[in-house]
Amino acid sequence: RKEVEQDPGPFNVPEGATVAFNCTYSNSASQSFFWYRQDCRKEPKLLMSVYSSGNEDGRFTAQLNRASQYISLLIRDSKLSDSATYLCVLTTDSWGKFQFGAGTQVVVTP
Amino acid sequence: SQTIHQWPATLVQPVGSPLSLECTVEGTSNPNLYWYRQAAGRGLQLLFYSVGIGQISSEVPQNLSASRPQDRQFILSSKKLLLSDSGFYLCAWTASGNYNEQFFGPGTRLTVL
């Protein structure tokens, strides 16, 4: 089983709609959780951290479910510029080793 | 502010040729440094990480090596490239002791023919 698993998509989303997707992880000792965004042929960039109580950043909402070992990302009122691959990322030890999922592709259509 | 540089941006090399990719970080001291490879349609694979000058840890045994000759310089090398070495190579850093965000360089797209 992969340590971090994501539905690769693509999720085809009409502009203005809501899209949500999950990421499951296998290591129950995982410490910190993040969503990164990667545009085509570019480097990943931090979208948001994921906190235990869930958190929002504008149109983006992230949730963490430690009992079921998954995190989720919800995008409201999707914009064309939200088209990207969203990477689930977590850390599992104290020195800063980051585990990356393969990403979920989101395509927002006019 | 901190910046991270990688070069070259793209590279086409024949099988069996050597490789040297360079990464430098500006605006911070004693960063943790990382080399990743991303194959087409795949996730990021951690290749090497370093917590200080001369300290290199390898995650995946292969024909690549890394060196950190200076605090903010990280080099990825190979003596003989394989076809399977093709991919998108990303250098990244985090602040020592602070693992809230990893910052990536623009990457090097390597094609081995």
pLDDT in tens, A45-81: 999 999 989 999 999 999 999 999 999 999 999 999 9
B31: number of Cβ within 10 Å: 23
At A1-44, the pLDDT tens digits run 678 999 999 999 999 999 999 999 998 888 899 999 999 989 99
Give the nearest partner residue to B32 out of A32, A96, A102, using CB atoms. Answer: A96
Arithmetic mean of pLDDT over chain A? 93
Distance from CA of B43 to the nearest CA of A (A): 4
Nearest by CB to residue A43, choosing from B94, B101, B105, is: B105
User: Checking phi first, is residue A94 left (phi over 0); if not, alpha (psi -120 to 50) or beta?
Assistant: alpha
- Whether A91 has its CB under 8 Å from any CB of chain B: the answer is yes
Query: Chain B residue closest to A9 (CA)?
Result: B41
Phi, psi torsion values for B84, nearest 5 degrees: -70, -5
Tokens of A14: 């009409």
pLDDT at position B59, please?
Answer: 84
Strand partners, A46: A36
Task: Kindly list the distances between the CA atom of residue B100 and the CA atoms of A6, A26, A50, A80, in Å, as whole numbers in the listed order.
Answer: 21, 21, 10, 28
Q: How confident is the model at residue A95 (pLDDT cuts 50, 70, 90)?
A: low
Q: A35 to chain B: nearest residue by CA? A: B101
CA B85 to each of CA A88, B14, B43: distance values in angstroms, whole numbers, following the listed order: 24, 11, 15
Residue recorded with tokens 């690549």: B64
Q: Nearest 5 degrees, angle CA A17-CA A19-CA A20?
A: 155
